[in-house]
Amino acid sequence: MPTVTNGDPVIVNLQLKNDDYTVVVGSGLLDRTAELIESKCGITSRKVAVVTDSNVAPLHGERVTESLGKAGYDVTLIEVPAGEASKSMERVTDVCRQMLQAGLDRKSFLVALGGGVIGDLAGFAAAIFQRGIPCVQIPTTIVSQVDSSVGGKTGVNAPEGKNLLGAFHQPRLVIADIDTLATLPNREFNEGFAEIIKHAAIRDADLLDLVENRDDIRKNLVELVTRNVTIKAGVVEADERETTGMRALLNFGHTIGHGIEAAGGYGRFLHGEAISLGLVAATRLSADNSTLSQADADRLINCLKLYDLPVTLDDDIATADILSAMQRDKKFEFGEIRFVLLDKLGSAHVSKGITAEMLTTEIEILR
C-alpha cells in the first residue's frame, strides 16, 4: 500500500490493459481540482460539465466550479435530484441533452461530483455522450471513495433490478477529498462501512483492526480510504471486465443485498444498509458451507453492528420479492447462482454450490 503521511495526498495508480489512471486521496483537494486534472490525467479540453446532485451542489459545487473557472475552463454545472431514483435512463438522457444544449462535444469532458449515484449516472453519461468522453470522478461519500468511483463500472437501474443498464468506462482521474466526508449525516457515513467490511472480508483481514477502532476512525480516514482503494485497484487490475472470476469476489454480500434493495423499493434502504443484510446472510452461508470459522463470522457481523448497520430484515419485505429481484441480477449466469463465500477472513471464492433453497432459508433467518 502507498505510504500515508500527514498532510500529503496519497497516490494510488491503476495500470489496466488500455486505461491507466490515478486515485488521489487526501485533504483540501477540491480547491485543487483544476491543478490535479491538468497534472494527473492530461485532459486538454477547456469545456467541462460538472454533474452533481441537489445535496452535494450546495456543499461542494462552488469550490469545484471555482477551481475550474479560475483555471480557464468553460464550466457547465448540471444538478439532478439527490437519491437512487436519479439512476434512470430518463435522467441520463436529460444530463446528455443539457450537455448538448451547453455546447459540449466529443472533445469535452465530464466531472462526476457526488456519491455512488452520481458516479454511476454521470459516468454512464460520459460513456455514451458522443460515443464516449473522459470522466473525472470526485466521490464525496464513504461508499463512493472506497469502492464505486474506482473500477469503471457505470450504469443505471431498471424497474427489473439494480445496475442492469450500463457500461465499463474507466475514469481518467479520481479525486477523493476526505474533507467531504465531514458533511455526511451519521447514517450516510456509517453505510459506507458495509463496503469497507466487505473488502476486509475478501482481501485484507487486518483492515478489521482499523474498522474496530471506532472512536478514532475519523482521524484515520486517509489510511482507511487508501487501503480500500488499494484493495479495489488490485482486484480491478487482475480482472477489469469480470472475465476471470477475480472481480466477482467484490460481489460478496451483494447477491442477496441487491435483492433486498430492489424488493424494499429504492430509497427505503441506503445501498450500504441493504449490503449489510446481504453480508450477514453471506457470512452465515460461509460458516455453514465453507471453512469460515464461527468466531470469524461473529466478528464480521459485530463490525456491522458497530456502525449501526442493519443485521435483521423487516418482515414486510417478502422473500419471494427478494428472490425474484435476485434472479434478474447480473451475478446469475444462465440461471445459475454464482455466490461468493469466505474461506476465512481475507480469503474468498466463487461457489456454484449455493442453491435457491439455501438462499430462501437464509433470507428467512435474517428475520
Q: Is 271 a catalytic residue?
A: yes
How many other C-beta atoms are found inside a 10 Å radius of the C-beta of residue 52? 27
- Given 32, 242, 299, 349, the catalytic residue: 242
pLDDT digits (tens, 9 = 90+) for 177-196: 999 999 999 999 999 999 99
Fold held by 10-184: Rossmann fold (3.40.50)
Q: Is 212 a catalytic residue?
A: no
Q: Please, which pLDDT band fits residue 214 given cuts at 50, 70 and 90?
A: very high
Q: Is 258 a catalytic residue?
A: yes
The whole-number pLDDT of residue 334 equals 46
Average pLDDT over residues 259-269: 88
Helix (H, G, I), strand (E, B) or coil at 38: helix
- Given 60, 63, 87, 153, the catalytic residue: 153
Q: Please, which pLDDT band fits residue 331 given cuts at 50, 70 and 90?
A: low
**Residue (of 184, 362, 167, 347) closest to 257 by Cα position:** 362
Q: Is 131 a catalytic residue?
A: yes
What average pLDDT does the chain have?
94
Q: Where are the beta strands (DSSP E) in the chain?
A: 10-15, 20-26, 47-53, 74-80, 109-114, 135-139, 153-158, 161-168, 173-177, 332-333, 336-337, 339-344, 347-351
How many other C-beta atoms are found inside a 10 Å radius of the C-beta of residue 364? 10
Domain residue ranges in the chain = 10-184, 188-366
Q: Is 367 a catalytic residue?
A: no
Average pLDDT over residues 308-323: 95
Homologous superfamily of domain range 188-366: Dehydroquinate synthase-like - alpha domain (1.20.1090.10)
Q: Is 364 a catalytic residue?
A: no
Q: Do domains 10-184 and 188-366 have the same CATH topology?
A: no
pLDDT digits (tens, 9 = 90+) for 89-102: 999 999 999 999 99
**Position of cell 467531504?**
180
pLDDT digits (tens, 9 = 90+) for 51-107: 999 999 999 999 999 999 999 999 999 999 999 899 999 999 999 999 999 999 999
- Given 232, 284, 330, 331, the catalytic residue: 232
Q: Is 232 a catalytic residue?
A: yes
- Given 172, 247, 284, 330, the catalytic residue: 247
Q: Please, which pLDDT band fits residue 5 given cuts at 50, 70 and 90?
A: low
Average pLDDT over residues 261-281: 92
**Position of cell 455526511?**
184
Edge-to-edge strand ranges of the sheet holding 74-80: 10-15, 20-26, 173-177, 135-139, 109-114, 47-53, 74-80
Q: Is 242 a catalytic residue?
A: yes
The whole-number pLDDT of residue 159 equals 86
Average pLDDT over residues 300-306: 98
> By the 8 A CB rule, do 194 and 300 touch?
no
CA dist 144 and 146 (Å) reads 6
Whether residue 298 is predicted with pLDDT greater than 50 in this model: the reply is: yes
- Nine cell digits for residue 314: 423487516
- Given 63, 254, 330, 331, the catalytic residue: 254
- Given 271, 284, 330, 331, the catalytic residue: 271
> By the 8 A CB rule, do 175 and 248 touch?
no
- Given 6, 17, 18, 131, the catalytic residue: 131
Q: What is the DSSP string of 191-219?
A: HTHHHHHHHHHHH-TTHHHHHH-GGGGGG
CA dist 31 and 226 (Å) reads 20
The whole-number pLDDT of residue 330 equals 56
